[in-house]
Homo-oligomer: A and B are copies of this chain.
């Protein structure tokens, strides 16, 4: 195979004609595949089927003898906070375990900030004229949508492979209107990168114009290894605390991709002042979380070793899917030199970088052939990728056969769109 940009016009035309034929055959197959969302596959959920009959008959007492069926326990079961303390690297007293959605805890933190303000701030954010939030790109569409929903001005910041470009970040946060940043620091959604120790140190120590700046540290994939590389992630909360900015960091995590996507547990870890602030507002909102589901998780996960074993089970199921997609991209796209993709060491996503201006075309071509992809632009603020070149690939949910068929289709559509672009040039 020849690189596209080294082909003669005639060769390009011939290739295009062949790809058109291949695409017609692809359409004729009548595929119906969905690679839009980072959902665990049914076999992954099966790993946690043990919870389906838990906590079990008459097993409703917490370690301290409280009846988990009744009201109360706003901060979450102490014994569960002790377990998650090992995952979150924060003391149990600085952890809140809630219900099933970490996005909901992020939402509530921002809603409380808007309505009431945060520790270190001067009042409700909603009283301020302009609030901006940094959005490392490519990033998670639900993060950006949440901030957009609150009316924040979204500022894209490029990711470097070791986290956001800190030179850019440090300049931007000098503006007091910039109140915070999103971060998915480990196996980032969707680039797969892990923030370097230097990035963490600079985020912890940087001077911000806003005294009440918040780092929304969504450590969603802390445990989600796809290789033995396991790049380390420095402890953001500790680093910020040591730098005198302990209030800056809000750490989020969940078991949505550990146990059950819709019925897991979400967590918040933060400084004592932030935890007191959160609980103060959450205590008006609810009497407490579903402690039976917390007990269920405690019985099922048991300890850190139980969690690690479960995560190995996930890896065994999804690593082959990531490998298959990467192999197909290498085989079909490699020598053509039209695209780059991530081969992540963990997480739930790959990025596929296609020629500028062709990402939407690839999505449209795939859709017409029965393969649903996350919309082009979803990885950027306001759903707009100015270069129209980043695709998010979510290999976990479909079966290995389906994900391979989908990857073949995506590779074909990528190549076809690239050909079209060159021919039109």
Q: Which residues 93-149 of A have a CB within 8 angstroms of B?
A: 99-101, 103-104, 107-108, 111, 114-115, 124, 126, 142, 145-146, 149
- Please, how many residues of chain A have a CB less than 8 angstroms from a CB on the other chain? 56
Chain A interface, DSSP helix/strand/loop, else mixed: loop
Q: Give the nearest-CB partner of A292 in chain B.
A: B263
Q: Which residues of B contact A53 (CB under 8 A)?
A: 53-54, 56-57
Contact yes or no, A71 B281, CB < 8 A = no
Q: Which residues of B contact A149 (CB under 8 A)?
A: 281, 284
Task: Check A262/B290 contact, CB under 8 A, given A58-B49, A59-B52, A70-B39.
Answer: yes
Contact with B along A34-71 (1 / 0, CB 8 A): 00010110100100110011111111100000011111
Give the distance to chain B from A57, nearest Cβ to Cβ, in Å.
6
Q: Which residues of B contact A293 (CB under 8 A)?
A: 263, 290, 293
| A286 on the B face (CB < 8 A) | yes
State in angstroms the CA–CA spacing of A170 and B149 once bound together. Answer: 36
| A288 on the B face (CB < 8 A) | yes
> Which of B42, B291, B292 interacts with A67 by CB under 8 Å?
B42
Contact yes or no, B45 A262, CB < 8 A = no
| A287 on the B face (CB < 8 A) | yes
Contact yes or no, B100 A285, CB < 8 A = no
Give the distance to chain B from A293, nearest Cβ to Cβ, in Å.
7
Give the distance to chain B from A45, nearest Cβ to Cβ, in Å.
4
25 pairs of residues in contact across A and B, judged by CB atoms under 8 Å: A39-B71, A40-B70, A42-B70, A49-B58, A52-B58, A52-B59, A52-B60, A52-B292, A53-B54, A53-B56, A68-B262, A68-B263, A99-B99, A99-B290, A100-B286, A100-B289, A101-B285, A126-B126, A142-B287, A146-B285, A260-B292, A262-B289, A262-B291, A263-B290, A263-B291
Given A52-B60, A114-B115, 12 new contacts (CB under 8 A): A45-B67, A53-B57, A69-B260, A69-B261, A70-B261, A107-B286, A124-B126, A142-B284, A262-B290, A263-B292, A290-B293, A293-B293
**Which 3 pairs, one residue from A and one from B, show the smallest C-beta to C-beta distance?**
A263-B292, A107-B285, A101-B286
* Interface residue ranges, A against B (CB under 8 Å): 37, 39-40, 42, 45, 48-49, 52-60, 67-73, 99-101, 103-104, 107-108, 111, 114-115, 124, 126, 142, 145-146, 149-150, 256, 260-263, 281, 284-293
